[in-house]
Amino acid sequence: RKPSAEEFKRQHMDPDSPPNSRPTYCNRMMRRQGMTKGSCKRVNTFVHESWATVKAICSQRQMTCKTTRRNNCHKSSSTLHITECRLKGSSKYPNCDYTTTDSQKHIIIACDGNPYVPVHFDASE
């Protein structure tokens, strides 16, 4: 299945919650957003910015994607408020246990389609 903007929103967009998350944020959000079904997704980033802000990155600096090697990735010109969720080494499915880390970084996303919209989260730096 092709990655879609809807999938991107489900996995990576959380515009309404403030960036100063509780330590339990990732455990709650990873489950709520369907990333702990069948297995625990290892790494996932949530972005606390509006869809308009994230969509606008599709017209910012173009670069090669780290994961797919395609040339449709774009790096945000500004830093964004994000939360990084990382599976703890001690976590055992189905009890997916994550560390929650807030930060402010540039994000690199892949865009696709017409309209040209975010479909994949590549990295942050």
Note whether 65 binds ligand C5P by CB under 6 A. Answer: no
Encoded tokens for 107: 């994000």
Greatest Cα-to-Cα distance within the chain, rounded to the nearest angstrom: 42
Query: Does residue 12 carry a catalytic annotation?
Result: yes
Considering only 13-21, 39-47, 71-79, 96-104, which stretch makes contact with ligand C5P by CB under 6 A? 39-47
Note whether 98 binds ligand C5P by CB under 6 A. Answer: no
Note whether 100 binds ligand C5P by CB under 6 A. Answer: no
**Does residue 59 contact residue 76 with C-beta atoms inside 8 Å?**
no
CB atoms under 10 Å from CB of 73, counted, come to 23
Note whether 63 binds ligand C5P by CB under 6 A. Answer: no
Chosen residue from 27, 44, 72, 83 binding ligand C5P by CB under 6 A: 44
User: In this structure, which amino acid lies at residue 76?
Assistant: S
Encoded tokens for 37: 């079904």
Instruction: Mention every residue, 6+ apart, whose C-beta is less than 8 A from residue 84.
Output: 43, 44, 45, 100, 101, 102, 103, 124
Q: Which of 12, 48, 74, 81 is labelled catalytic?
A: 12
With respect to ligand C5P, which residue has the nearer C-beta, 60 or 101? 101
Chain residues binding ligand C5P by CB under 6 A are 11, 43-45, 67, 120-121, 123-124
Which residues are identified as catalytic? Answer: 12, 120
